Amino acid sequence: MLIRKLLAALQGVLLAGLLVGTASAGPVNSGHLEAELVAQDAAAVPGGTIYVALRQKIQPGWHTYWRNPGDAGDATKIVWTLPTGWTAGDIVWPTPEKSRVGPLLDYAYTGEVLLPVPITVPADAKVGSTVTLKAAAAFLVCEQICVPEDAVLTLDLPIVAGAPSPDPKWGAAVARTLVDAPKAAGLKAVFKLDGKVLKLAVTGGPLKGADMAGAYFYPYSGKVIDHAAEQVIERGPEGLTLSLTPGYDFTAGTPPTELAGVLALKGQAYEVTAKAGDPPVAASGLGAPAASGKAPAGGTGLAAALLFAFLGGLILNLMPCVFPVLSMKAASLAGHAHDPGKTRLQGLAFLVGVVATFLSLAGLLIAVRAGGAAVGWGFQLQSPVVVGALALVMLLVALNMSGVFEFGTSVQGVGGGVSARGGVTGAFFTGALAVVVAAPCTAPFMAGALGFALVQPPLISLSVFLALALGFAAPFVLLTFAPALLARLPRPGAWMETLKHALAFPMYGTAAWLVWVFSQQTGSIALGEILAAAVLAGFAAWLWGHAQTRRAVGKPSLVSALIAALALAGAVALTVLTVQAPGPVVAGPASPAAAPAGPGLASEPWSPEKLAALRAEGRPVLVDFTAAWCVTCQVNEKVALSSAGVAQVFKDRNAVLLRADWTNRDAAIAAALAEHGRVGVPLYLVYPAKGGAPVILPQLLTEGMVVEAIEKAAS
């Protein structure tokens, strides 16, 4: 703020000095831009108003600023010297662009921009005379550095009696700027500070059916919001609600009584002035991804969010990331299929484990997002510590199922039954582990429900996650209460031990996959260390099993148990120290974002700038939001994006595959997901060659879907 005040003072001094200097008619090159005064009409009329615009033709790569420059910069200023009786109004500011510079977000203009100003002509202006309008303009022009520049400009205008004709060169451009400029449209707006989130709800006729993709609020004040933070869009039947991060005025200053600015949509922009109040229901609801502007299946509100969350939880059981844990469920059911009491008890314990873990993850996610971090569903797997620890847990589970050691049961009792207490505990932790493993996946219906949940108050958010948990647990729990189905399983016997050992191998596969994810996040040196930790964990499991065997035959087992505990502690310590050791994270050629997608089809790293450049070239673009820890993403990669046929279509249609790799945390990717109403991956966006909103593909892809989408995008 101090720098901005100094710049403003400097501009004031420059303007004062320039007004007594030499004026120049026509364009003036101030260094990094060309400036001149241009008029909408070829002449002025006594008693009328004429729009005179300050035209800026800005050097490529440089920019000037809007009335609120954002996090840095200073707005363009104009000081007029006019004939007696003539007056100048306020600048009509066109909608700016967002210009991100490192962690800062500025509101700027690039290329050519016109800033129209209404000039009132006195009624006694002499017809037939010519007047000279004089303006001193001061700009802050920035690239990586900022340069204050200035120009004194003049414009000669004849005075005529009749209606003037448009200026032949600039009349249409000024008129178009005035038409496109943000205008009041009778919109109703309210704002409310809800904890650490500032809710801005806008409703009104122009917003019904409008395309909400990329909706953004540009405040007139530079102190009411955190400009660089993402603005989460929630679509309602009558408008929308934006979740903003409050700025200085709300956190340390005097909270404003109104919030004024510009709401920009695609091709439209409206002036809004919000008063303090509760957001109306018509401005919120379970919106579809913002790219479509429609609610999924026509549903809105909490009831629809709960329904979609429950359905998403059901479908989550069929997602690839949950398959390994199905083996644990199968082994658990096989042990008690003919004991209805124990089976039902296990079903309820599994339900409690699922619900407790879902709500714990949801609470942590809500708390982290409230603290300003750009995270989404599956966020815990963006932490190498969590991934490494989970890999060791999966390895230990697999070793347990292979019979290396036993948990919750005695050695003699294996194959013959499990104690009620041990079975219940195992079912609880099976439910918890199932949720942790399922976290990387986002099933159909889940995306909209989670997008809705994470912009609601905590109680509503947790209710949506509860519905998701109930849907996820429902199939297993209902099965435990279906004795007719369980009765079809063979009677307990030696086959259970064989089944249990066989079902351990999906868990080994899960452990191997998590180690691969760990290597994508940390690099090859850390990979060696996590493998060493896995060997230590395996040694600990073997020693513990050895101690159990000795204890079963009455021999001392304390030494083996202590060494096992030390080995396991060493494995955990090695995992933690591995990711905390200094050194860069390797995410170069090994990263999925930079790897070939298949035979002949290579991807390029996604960035907003890269996407904009490709769209400007008129090329179809498929953006793949993915992560190494997202099993569904990897399956889609192999099934739908790796064939020679898909590569040929991309080549024939001059299409490009951009990969947004969210394996590690990335605020830009989190913001892009939020823009489309998502909080997790996968997400597939196909941008048409001729412009327009992207098409969102299903979360489970086929080769045919991709080929058809690219063909349509290119046509």
DSSP assignments along 72-86, one per residue: S----EEEEE--TT-
Tokens of 123: 């009624």
User: Before 457, cis peptide (omega within 30)?
Assistant: no
Domain 184-284 fold: Immunoglobulin-like (2.60.40)
Query: What is the length of the chain?
Result: 715
Tokens of 142: 């920035």
| CATH number belonging to domain 596-714 | 3.40.30.10
Fold agreement between 2-179 and 596-714: no
> Block means of pLDDT (10 residues each) for the chain, length 715 residues?
46 42 65 94 93 96 94 92 94 93 87 96 93 94 88 94 89 92 89 90 82 88 91 84 91 87 90 90 51 37 79 77 62 60 83 89 72 54 74 82 67 34 70 74 63 69 88 86 67 65 78 80 75 86 81 68 72 64 38 47 87 90 87 81 88 93 78 74 90 85 91 91
Q: Is 693 helix (H, G, I), strand (E, B) or coil?
A: coil
139: alpha, beta or left, given left = phi > 0 and alpha = psi -120 to 50? beta
Q: Output the pLDDT for position 79.
A: 94
The whole-angstrom separation of Cα 701 and Cα 704 is 8
Instruction: Compute the chain's Rg from CA coordinates.
Output: 32
Q: Are 71 and 105 in contact (CB under 8 A)?
A: yes
Q: How far is CA 222 from the centre of its chain?
A: 24
Q: Output the pLDDT for position 260.
A: 95
Q: Output the pLDDT for position 428.
A: 85
The whole-angstrom separation of Cα 291 and Cα 685 is 9
Beta-bridged to residue 148, according to DSSP, are 140
Q: Please list, in sequence order, all residues whose beta carbon lies within 8 angstroms of the beta carbon of residue 362, skipping any fewer than 6 positions away.
A: 453, 461, 462, 465
Q: Are 440 and 513 in contact (CB under 8 A)?
A: no
Beta-bridged to residue 131, according to DSSP, are 157
Q: Output the pLDDT for position 14.
A: 44
Domain 2-179 sits in which CATH superfamily?
A: Thiol:disulfide interchange protein DsbD, N-terminal domain (2.60.40.1250)
Q: Output the pLDDT for position 486.
A: 64
Q: Output the pLDDT for position 577.
A: 64
The beta-strand segments (E) located in 102-182 are 104-109, 112-120, 130-142, 146-158
Q: Output the pLDDT for position 128.
A: 92
Tokens of 220: 């007139």
Tell me the CB-side half-sphere exposure of residue 387, using CA atoms within 13 A: 30
The single-letter code of the amino acid at 209 is G
Burial profile 100-115: b = 16 or more Cβ within 10 angstroms, e = fewer: ebeeebbbbbbeebbb
Q: Output the pLDDT for position 292.
A: 35
Beta-bridged to residue 78, according to DSSP, are 137
Q: How far is CA 462 from CA 302, 468, 579, in A?
A: 12, 10, 31
The pTM (predicted TM-score) of the whole model is 0.43
SS3 for 290-341 is: CCCCCCHHHCCHHHHHHHHHHHHHHHHCCCHHHHHHHHHHHHHHHHHCCCHH
The single-letter code of the amino acid at 565 is A
CB neighbours (10 Å) of residue 253?
11
The whole-angstrom separation of Cα 415 and Cα 335 is 8
Q: Output the pLDDT for position 26.
A: 78
